[in-house]
Amino acid sequence: MKVYAGLAGIPVVKSSISYIDGEKGFLEYRGIPIQELVENSSYLETSYLLVFGKLPSKDKLSRFINDIKNNLYLDDSVLKFLKDIPSSTHPMKVLQSIIPVLSSKDPNTDVLDEKHHYSSLVNLLGQVPTIIASWKRIQEGKEPVEPDPELSYSGNFLYMMRGEKPDELEERIFDKCLILHAEHTINASTFTAIVVASTLADFYSAVSSAVGSLSGRLHGGANERVFYMLSAIKDIDDIPAIIDKKLKNKERIMGFGHRVYKTYDPRAKLIKQMLQEISSIKGDSKLLKVAMEFEKVATQRLKEKRIYPNIDFYSGVLYSLFGIPPAFYTPVFAMARISGWIAHCKEYIKENKLFRPTQIYDGGHNIHYIPPEKRG
């Protein structure tokens, strides 16, 4: 028997949700190239596509959006729970702990009944953005901003985060970012979600566990670290020495590398274009200049190993232009990934098989208990 470390290259499911060609740097959701969705779709329409398998009719989409908008508000008990959490708690931990509480509002969580999947989906898509934005305000010692259902999904989120309505450009670009983050085959957090769903735990438990998995710095948590790494650079001329020092110390460069992409991550390419668009209109960003120079030098050093920027390299730089604090970059990623996680859980439990891998035991046998006073 052989151990497949990190399950690299081992298929664990058959899935028709998304497809990556890691050699060509190509990504599709339900067969549609990501570039087409970013150009033409909205985050909620893309979520519908991911979860239900095809683009919705106009009526179905407007019903879906309405159902989500009816779920934007948090119960007083949830707000009170949020206010009682120690204010230094990282928003990813807050999200992970509060998502299961949202199931108390949902009487229908038996995952074996497909009808119940919808209420979990619209409840999570509606409330998670409100939780993230409310936590930001509570951490700042301010009252949460009530959702405004008149605004678009992305417009409302930015409004609740900042207390002022975003302009059309910010709203449009932010929504495109959510599309880019919505799904990405069987990565660590999606695998976590389907492992939990395979026990027939409800979607709230699966999503909350996936949030924990996403928070790690080798996965979604990288975007926050990229921001700290780039903003610590005082002078662009220092970049080669900074990168060389990291590589010499065998440090990972955050926002670079990917298990599947052995070329430029197409999502990073699209986010970089959006960044260039937004900074050409709103004025050049110093952080973007630093990021672009960093990318140039790090790529020179790492391309021999086929290591290029991933989505996390530029997403934090973009969110910083929206006034989103660094600790909230990964929560934004998590909020966008809800539809991908639920799509996979829904697909997996159709032909459910409890995940129960095996191990190769390499410990001892017949070792006898020694009382504490006799231990060396």
Give the binding site for ligand ACO (CB under 6 A). Answer: 187, 218-220, 222, 252-259, 305, 307, 310-312
Under a CB-based contact definition with an 8 Å cutoff, are residues 328 and 132 in contact? yes
- Give 172 or 252: the residue with its C-beta nearer to ligand ACO: 252
By beta-carbon proximity to ligand ACO, the closer residue of 74 and 194 is 194
Cα 66 versus chain centre, distance:
24
| CB closer to ligand ACO, 197 vs 271 | 271
Quick one: tokens of 369?
């208990």
**Could you tell me the smallest distance in angstroms from the CB atom of residue 19 to ligand ACO?**
17
d(CA 293, CA 159): 32
Name the amino acid, one letter, at 210. Answer: A
Q: Which two tokens stand for residue 185?
A: 């085959």
Catalytic residues, by residue number, are: 258, 312
Residue type, 209: S
Q: C-beta of 264: minimal distance to ligand ACO in Å?
A: 13
* 3-class DSSP string for 5-42: HHHCCCCCCCCCCEEEECCCCEEEECCEEHHHHHHHCC
- Nearest approach, Cβ of residue 342 and ligand ACO (Å): 18
Given a contact cutoff of 8 angstroms between Cβ atoms, the answer to whether 285 and 321 are in contact is yes
The answer to whether the CB of 92 falls within 8 A of the CB of 214 is yes
Instruction: Indicate the residue among 255 and 266 with the shorter CB distance to ligand ACO.
Output: 255
Residue 137 or 217 with smaller CB distance to ligand ACO: 217
What is the arrangement of strands in the sheet containing 32-33, beginning at the earlier edge strand?
18-21, 26-29, 32-33
Q: By three-state DSSP, how is residue 119 classified?
A: helix
Smallest distance, Å, CB 334 to ligand ACO? Answer: 11
Instruction: Tell me whether residue 248 or residue 374 sits nearer to ligand ACO (CB atom).
Output: 248
Q: Which residue is nearest to ligand ACO (CB)?
A: 257
Query: What is the nearest approach in angstroms of ligand ACO to the Cβ of residue 68?
Result: 24
Q: How far is the CB of 57 from ligand ACO (least distance, A)?
A: 32
Query: CA quadruple 11, 338, 101, 316: dihedral positive or negative?
Result: positive
- CB of 46 or CB of 134, closer to ligand ACO: 46
Crossing angle between the packed helical segments 286-302 and 266-282, to the nearest 10 degrees:
150
Helix extents (H) in the chain: 34-40, 43-52, 58-69, 76-84, 91-98, 115-139, 153-162, 168-181, 188-197, 203-214, 222-231, 239-248, 266-282, 286-302, 311-321, 329-350
Q: CB of residue 265 vs ligand ACO: minimum separation in angstroms? A: 7
Angstrom distances, CA of residue 124 to CA of 99, 279, 319, 371: 8, 32, 22, 51
> Hunting for tokens 């934007």 — which residue is that?
72
